[in-house]
Structure 1
Amino acid sequence: PDDEQRLWWHSTAPMFAAMLQTAGHNVHDQYRHLGIYKKNIIPFLGVYPTEGKGRWLSILTRYGIPFELSLNCSNSIVRYTYEPINEATGTDKDPYNTLAILESLQKLVQIQSGIDLEWFNYFKHELTLNGTESAYLRSNDLVNCQIKTQNKLALDLKGNQFALKVYIYPELKSTATGKSIHELIFGSVRKLSLEHPSIQPAFQVLDDYVASRNISAETGGEYSALQPRLLSCDLINPAKSRVKIYLLERTVSLSAMEDLWTLGGRRTDPSTMDGLDMVRELWNLLEMPAGLQAYPKPYLQLGKIPNEQLPS
């Protein structure tokens, strides 16, 4: 490994190891997951983040860092997410980091059975740039935003295995095609649902809810319009995979949270309502100031502390 990779390892592996131990992984599983991380993930993290050093900025974190550890406390599942980066990222060969994920996935497919790339390939084609579109954006200098991330991967660690998920951001595809992000995301899922009817009922409920919210917002309703930001799916057999659409909610209030949680009253089953009780409890603990909020600025300087949404 080069110096950048050593820096990544020494700054992240101790916390990673501690989280694996906390989550109850035995020593053999810990070694396996740390070994996979060192050999197959760190080489795809790019330049180690250091002030003043040029690097690819990832939307994954507020500091543009392409790696994040997290812990599902209820189920004691360690997860890490990363945006694959390689030497071509940000260069003329791959100006918008479309290709590194393909190389990274091939490494993971070789060490974990059960990874299915059918839906990845579908959404990759529908929601990220192809070579012609990348060249068009590059030659016409059409990408003026700081956010250039198109895709990232996440691994949920279970025993000595991992479950793989992809997240896709179609903002650049929208710029290249002239189609809205909403049209791209909802259109791609709608088309997929024609081949996989099992996802139609849930998708139709969400589609109806978002449409009703946005019509209400246009006519002076209580809440802002909902803007899709990204999509994710599990990289397993499509019959078992989930598709998730992530929406930007700018109205910060308990009633807006309740509306979102129940999809405007469309979901009122016991599990949903039990979850809503926890949301209400959490809302009261956080004491966030209510109101219409702007989306945070993309990236913070390394070391700067975010100050959005502090208690009033």
Structure 2
Amino acid sequence: MESSGETTTLPGSGPGSTITPLDAVNKNIIIRDVDQQAWWKTTAPLLAKVLASARYSHAQQIDYLTFYCKTCIPRLGPYPHRFRCGISLSGLPLEFSVNFKQYGSSHPIARVGFEPLSLLSGTDRDLYNLIPTREFLGELERLQIPRFDTRLLEHFWPLHILNQSEQDSLQGARPEGTDRYSQAMFGFDLQDDTISVKGYTLPVLKCRVTGQSVASLHQETVRSLGPMMDCSAAFELMHAYMEEIGAYNRSAFFSWDCVAPAKSRLKFYGYDGDVTWSRIEELWTLGGRVQSATRARGLEYLRQLWDLMELPSGHRGLGEGFNPGANTASTPIVYNHEIKAGNPVPSTKVYLPVHGENDGRIVRAVAEFLQIIGLEEYGTGLEQTVADCL
């Protein structure tokens, strides 16, 4: 994304007068729709704080706030939201996050998870929220984002998403154990030089209407990629483990990078209610199938974070009607196994369940962990950064 400089000067305010990135965007946009105004007013300040805390330049902050305003805000539907989305546990159509990296990035990467909505989302005319999702894809193509590639999306959507006759045959059914109808979502990693787009699908309803198992659907998805993206060796290793522990019964969703297939990553997300260190260790090594010095070092880091957070062990379910304000609620472990062309071994990411825990303790644990792994500049001020975002 192009930008013109490090500061923005208010017209007529004299040389050297500067305003914040959010003020700069507010001065140059006009939002006439009442719902869009409400979405912008309630979410843009938080995104502005996230970008600032991740140390994006002044110009980058303006660029990405502008992108968010023009691209996401018009697609959030009525305010407050009526359709419970799959992108976040709370059902909101948005999720902001920050990805801290030890290597390869000059600063943390801000991310936006997003499910397009409209007035029709969740109604009889679009119960499964597919109309705005398909329309939004066309908008992404018109933006001409560098390296954005739709080939994998065009391959996966027919396999994972309900067509019209399948929607009709379901007669309003939803996946067992959830209150969501979501079918597809998007993610944006706000890189220094471009926006990295990710696609997500939730294929459980597709399996229900076709009678195909989740395991079989994943097998078909990967094997049908053919020469476009050969990652069969890694998939078979992962598949054997998931079959062994019955993980496909808890498979949540599927994700990929919207780039050239040979450079993309496929991610298989699931959840596990056995919140214990032994289960995390098993997930991390795929039941002992994957062993290496790098994997062992990663497990050491994970154990340090687990100990710092002091999470109580035990069973945790993912109940109906998750309420972000209900501190008694709990969530299971979420994880993903990632595969890509040219790598015969999957990699694993584990998302520790912190909902219902003491926020102060969790933030202090993450702050200390960042210092342990060499990111002192972010760990030292993390507690204040989080407080500033509230």
TM-score w.r.t. the length of structure 1 is 0.87
TM-superposed CA distance for 1:273, in Å, is 1.1
Contact 1:85-1:101 within 8 A present in 2 as well: yes
Compare relative contact order (CA 8 Å, sep 6+) and give the higher one, 1 or 2. Answer: 1
**Displacement after TM superposition at 1:265 (Å):** 1.5
Q: Structure 1 residue 19 and structure 2 residue 19: aligned?
A: no
Do residues 165 (structure 1) and 198 (structure 2) align?
A: yes
Q: Does 1:271 align with 2:279?
A: no
Alignment correspondent of 1:307: 329
Corresponding residue to 2:310 among 287, 292, 302:
287
| Cα deviation code 1:80-112 (max 9, x no counterpart) | 001111233223332211231221122222221
RMSD of aligned residue pairs (Cα, Å): 2.2
Structure 1 runs (4+) deviating above 4 angstroms are 309-312
Q: Deviations over 1:150-174 (max 9, x none)?
A: 1110000011520000111012212
Contact between 1:262 and 1:268, CA under 8 Å: does it hold in 2? yes
2: CA distance, partners of 1:23 / 1:196: 35
In the superposition, relative to structure 1, how do residues 203 and 95 fare at CA in structure 2: closer, same or farther (>3 Å)?
A: same
User: Gaps (5+ residues) in structure 1?
Assistant: 215-223
Aligned pair in 2 of structure 1 residues 63, 311: CA closer, same or farther (>3 Å)? closer
Q: How much has 1:291 moved relative to structure 2?
A: 3.0
Partner of 1:250: 273
Match of residue 82 from structure 2: 55
My pick for the range that moved more, 142-151 or 254-263, is 142-151
Correspondences of 1:95-114 after superposition (within 5 Å): 95-111=127-143, 112-114=145-147
Instruction: Return closer, same or farther for 1:225/1:175 CA change in 2, 3 Å cut-off.
Output: closer
1:41 paired with 2:72, answer yes
Asked if 1:230 corresponds to 2:262, the answer is no
Q: What is the rounded CA distance, in whole Å, between the counterparts of 2:270 and 2:89 in structure 1?
A: 18
Pick from 133, 151, 159: which aligns with 2:184? Answer: 151
Q: Is the 8 A contact 1:250 1:294 kept in 2?
A: yes
SS in 2 for 1:64: coil
Task: Say which of 220, 225, 231 aligns to 1:199.
Answer: 231
Tell me what 2:15 maps to: none
C-alpha contact (below 8 Å) 2:86/2:180 kept by paired residues: yes
Provide the residue aligned with 2:23 in structure 1: none
Mapped contact 2:318–2:330 kept (Cα < 8 A): no
Over 3 Å counting, the alpha-carbon distance change for 1:226 and 1:251 in structure 2 is: farther
Given the superposition, is the C-alpha separation of residues 237 and 122 from structure 1 closer, same or farther in structure 2, using an over 3 Å criterion?
same
SS of the residue 2:35 aligns to:
helix
Distance in 1, matches of 2:66 and 2:138, equals 17
The amino acid of 2:293's aligned partner reads P
In the TM superposition, residue 307 of structure 1 has moved relative to its aligned partner by 3.2
> How many residues in Structure 1 have an aligned counterpart in Structure 2?
295
Cα distance 1:69–1:197, how it changes in 2: closer, same or farther (>3 A)? closer
Q: Quick check: 1:152–1:167 contact (8 Å CA) kept in 2?
A: yes
Please, which moves more after superposition, 127-136 or 204-213?
204-213
TM (norm. structure 2) is: 0.70
Show structure 2 runs of 5+ residues with no match. 1-30, 332-355, 359-390
Q: Quote how far apart the aligned CAs of 1:57 are.
A: 0.8
Cα distance in 1, alignment partners of residues 317 and 99 from structure 2: 28
Identity over aligned residues, as a percent? Answer: 31
Aligned pairs (5 A) from 1:174-193: 174-192=207-225
